[in-house]
Amino acid sequence: MHNEGLGSWPARRARKTPRRTALVHDGRTLAYADLDERVTRLAHGLRSLGVRRGDRVAYLGPNHPSFLETLFAAGALGAVFVPLNTRLAAPEIAYQLADSGTSVLVCGPAHAGLADELRAGAPVRSFVAVDGAGAQYFQDYQDHQDYEDLLAGGAADRIDEAVGPDDLCMIMYTSGTSGRPKGAMLTHGNIIWNAVNVLIDHDLVADEVALVSAPLFHTAGLNMLTLPVLLKGGRCVLVAGFDPEATFDLIEKHRVTFMFGVPTMFQQVARSPRWEGADLSSLRILTCGGAPVPPTLIAAYGERGLTFLQGYGMTEAAPGVLFLDAEHAESKAGSAGVQHFFSDVRVVAPDEPGLRPTGPGEIGEVVVRGPHVFRGYWGLPAESAAAFTDGWFRSGDAARVDEDGYAHIVDRIKDMFISGGENVYPAEVEHALLTHPDVLECAVIGVPDDEWGEVGRAVVVARPGSAPTAEDLLAALAGRLAAYKIPKSVVFTGALPRNGAGKLLKQPLRADFGNP
């Protein structure tokens, strides 16, 4: 094959295990040979819509076989896949479509209405609706295609476009501290090498059964769980969204061996009345990321004979950086582990030129280098260059390394906080708040929350002569930002602390207003 990228995976796997089940969704199973045929037909269908090498094809919708089929079909053409976060508000999605220059949008079930909303603000040429989702919205538009009709009309002869490891595979948006999300450019090689790291460090086997309830539009659900399992020839059980009660049923029915989730998901499972009596005997690998795992949660799963494998990563690294294996899960509890097999990681002095490694126990910035690290941000050459020092990507996260070389993430140099596994960047929320006529100044910080880990709190200086309420300000954000980004509380103050250069100082804000 000339195609060495992800677009060739269905064909390569079908050569080896054609009748093995690849995907399970809503009572339907899809063998690797069937997946290969559907991807081939979809690739022809996308080509008939004008998609060529380098063109962007976006997907908006929950976990569904069509998400993966679209990813692989785009890869077969040498096109670029753009997964969209369904939790975002319409203006946020429209920005990503416009910024990426997406030409074709595939919208999954229940999202056709949102896709219709996006028409005015995004330069999308063609809309493809899955499961008849667009019938009531797109029937009068010539640019609408039904997904299954597009496949049925596509040829079955293989497309073998020359695609190499250095070719762009995916633009995955990650929120930026400037208030605008940035598109991380991940090559086919980035994602392949990350998958190899997972195969090695997670010790995956060919009969792995993965429960994919974490969203595929996030890098962990896609690149740390689903794609490595498909590369190995295992089975992925796709569900549209996470439900703790349904999780028990799915584990028992499909004999699930591998799960990924953020701590909130695992907490909800452990709080269920079914927890004590549930059959969890098939589970072999539980990986948890997005936020530190509370010791009480580790203990609860330990009582059921289950061990969390924790890790640390970022979209820009596709995403795996550090990993704590089962052998050291207890002795190094609280650590993010050591670097993945094909990854180099250092903790360096953050305020010094160069990359001086810190000593044991000294806090510094995490930097990473390896074949899985992205090539830069889409359309942002200056920011891309600034993100690297001597070939090392600067994460902006602070950590310390113990005497055994295990890294402990201790803080975030950037102001980002994590709410329910979702990254929230205060600058983006602050930008939205400042458009309110009654807000003179504002700052957003993360505060502890029992359910979500952290939630936002807005510290606001009201414009003289105005008297806004917390309810007014939060209501003004509804529909403009994703719900998880909207602060859960507002406090008012007379002034925000700044240094002599006028830079906002958030540490005093956290000290004064950071308690739950």
245-286: per-residue pLDDT in tens? 999 999 999 999 999 998 889 989 998 999 999 999 999 999
Q: Per-residue confidence at 354, pLDDT binned at 50, 70, 90?
A: confident
Lowest mean pLDDT among 61-75, 148-162, 404-418: 404-418
347 bridge partner residues: 366
Closest C-alpha to 250, from 230, 233, 231, 265: 265
Report d(CA 169, CA 187) in Å as an integer. Answer: 5
Closest C-alpha to 441, from 463, 426, 419: 463
- pLDDT at res. 226: 98
Region 136-148 average pLDDT: 71
Task: For the chain, report the end-to-end CA distance as a whole number of angstroms.
Answer: 57
- pLDDT at res. 501: 46
Q: 6-164 has which CATH code?
A: 3.40.50.980
Highest mean pLDDT among 83-92, 139-148, 313-322, 496-505 belongs to: 313-322
- pLDDT at res. 338: 97
- pLDDT at res. 177: 42
Highest mean pLDDT among 202-216, 319-333, 431-445 belongs to: 202-216
Segments of the chain assigned to CATH 3.40.50.980: 6-164
Q: Which CATH architecture has domain 188-412?
A: 3-Layer(aba) Sandwich (3.40)
Q: Per-residue confidence at 214, pLDDT binned at 50, 70, 90?
A: very high
Highest mean pLDDT among 120-129, 228-237, 458-467 belongs to: 228-237
What b/e readout covers 399-419, taking b as 16+ CB neighbours within 10 angstroms?
A: bbbeeeebbbbeeebbbbbbb
Report d(CA 376, CA 385) in Å as an integer. Answer: 8
Are the C-beta atoms of 515 and 125 separated by less than 8 Å?
no
For β-strands 338-339 and 320-323, DSSP reports them as antiparallel
Say which residue, 307 or 80, is predicted with more confidence: 80
**Mean pLDDT of the residues in the chain:** 91
Segments of the chain assigned to CATH 3.40.50.12780: 188-412
Region 500-509 average pLDDT: 71
Q: Per-residue confidence at 426, pLDDT binned at 50, 70, 90?
A: confident
Q: Per-residue confidence at 238, pLDDT binned at 50, 70, 90?
A: very high
Q: Per-residue confidence at 133, pLDDT binned at 50, 70, 90?
A: low
Region 361-375 average pLDDT: 95
417-513 classified as CATH 3.30.300.30: yes
- pLDDT at res. 299: 84
Q: Per-residue confidence at 179, pLDDT binned at 50, 70, 90?
A: low
Region 461-475 average pLDDT: 93
Closest C-alpha to 76, from 127, 9, 14, 133: 9
